[in-house]
A and B are shown apart, each in its own frame.
Chain A
């Protein structure tokens, strides 16, 4: 892996919620334009970790952070860095589809521009490219003015992906993007991820091992044992983590012995 470049690197990431130490010394490097899956049992800190990559964890008032997250060699926690600017370059898709209910499909795609106070010269083109990249264009092209909530759950999630893509992020974070979707919609979202992978760095949290194997180039296994803070037990190529795990705990988890 030595010849890979890394868009995003986490160095010695530690997180506390109040007095509770929830993540300890996480070091992960995310190769440019590849998909990395974060797996692990509930409560192991993987969702918290993915939120440190765009500083969304700071919305929890008691959260404390130590370490570095380097986006193109610049620490997003550095002095004078505005978390709002960070999120312009690092998009995020959530567990539950969350299109803005008061906006139409088209307005949802453009909402990022409006919300960040940016201008764009060709909105129609941006709407079409974003929706195409999220592979939902054909389903909605005739009804762009319809309310976003008129879509099905899976379509809403792909609309949320399109909404993130319209901002042209370098990195896309996905926090269990399929956990609220049926198998058919899950497949569509996974296809979308694979289509996007060549052009952006994707980090995906998932509880679904098959999903990690289907979409991810790298997999990191998180664990929090006996009340200890969560940490990375194993990180490597997906085939290796699932095929020949080095750590016995990884082996137990990926083979369904616990979690």
Chain B
């Protein structure tokens, strides 16, 4: 007998993903379980004047756990208890992480925002005393200094890191093991040691006075492991079929790499460079020892002390006056903004032109 299957749209039931199907009863219970514990906790604080953190852990959390377990058991039966508890644990712990991260960003923004002004961003710090009003002077020279110092290290580190990654992924070199171990050791190097080494080698020995390039040099070993290892991962993710396809067309290995592997790994490599920059842009210890600090704008990385945002922050927080601490917060906010601008612009620039079909 022939089976007739009606496939007309009307005949088919409307289906939704199982996790999106919620009964009205469940929605009611879940909303109650969300609202009641918070209400009770807030009520306790209002009535007894209990400390917020104490109320969170002593009142809110136990009630919330019981409420979630109750919802679980009424809707799904016994296996629902674990479900309810896991939902509470997931939301509670992840909001903890968000609150931590958010509070760092918030404290920098709230404290630093009042320091921000055109003069703070564009002026340098010449003739400024720790107690000078914030109307005068700023971090302009430090922004330029940071960009120059980190820029110079990036120019040196990126080719080095790329070459290292290419050696690790594209060749059959014999010393891969040694290189990997060295990179790992390097990523564990305390930044102050790197600064001290450059200080001893170039400055204490009298080869040069404090100068921007010595700071760049001190940042290279901190940046290199990040750039090399993330680039290595990005290159490894390029399917071997693409490489073989290029070679089978009669491409020399270097052309296959430059024209096929490299473009396919582009956004990963941009990420590697960004992570490298992010790793060093806030470094203070190596810069204090090598570029020192300056009040005036210095555009020459090869001569003389140079200001930078981390050293500016470090100096002004140490003065301890209200005005100087205000300046330090301002500098911290400028670093955050700088990193954000760098990240966003690099992401936009590396967005792949062609997109895979869905």
Contacts and interface: CB of A to CB of B under 8 A. Distances in A.
B53 interface: no
Contact of B250 (A88, A98, A103, A149): A88
A98 B248 CA distance: 11
Contact of B245 (A54, A86, A98, A116): A98
Interface stretch (B18-26, B197-205, B251-259): B251-259
B354 A167 contact: no
Contact of B352 (A100, A102, A104): A102
Contacts of A56: 244, 247-248
Given A102-B352, A115-B251, 11 more contacts: A56-B247, A84-B251, A102-B260, A102-B354, A111-B260, A114-B259, A115-B246, A115-B260, A116-B250, A148-B354, A164-B248
Interface stretch (A89-97, A129-137, A183-191, A227-235): A89-97
17 contacts: A56-B244, A56-B247, A84-B252, A98-B242, A100-B260, A100-B264, A102-B352, A102-B354, A111-B246, A111-B260, A114-B255, A115-B259, A116-B249, A116-B251, A116-B252, A147-B357, A163-B249
Interface in A53-97: 54, 56, 59, 61, 84-88, 91-92, 94, 96
A86 B172 CA distance: 22
B244 A98 contact: yes
A61 B172 contact: yes
A248 interface: no
> On chain A, which size bracket covers the interface?
20 to 34
A25 B36 CA distance: 81
A198 interface: no
A187 B120 CA distance: 70
Contact of A115 (B172, B249, B356, B357): B249
B255 A101 contact: no
A92 B244 CA distance: 10
A167 B246 CA distance: 12
B18 to A, nearest CB: 29
Contacts of B242: 98, 100-101
A255 interface: no
Nearest to A95: B241
Given A112-B250, A115-B256, A116-B255, A100 B356 contact: no
B355 interface: yes
A259 interface: no
Interface of A: 54, 56, 59, 61, 84-88, 91-92, 94, 96, 98-104, 111-112, 114-117, 147-150, 160, 163-164, 167
Given A92-B248, A103-B354, A98 B259 contact: no
B354 A104 contact: yes
A258 to B, nearest CB: 30
B269 to A, nearest CB: 13
Contacts of B190: none
B46 to A, nearest CB: 59
Contacts of B241: 94, 96, 98
A164 B249 contact: yes
B259 A59 contact: no
Nearest to B249: A112
A98 B255 contact: no
A54 B248 CA distance: 8
Nearest to B256: A115
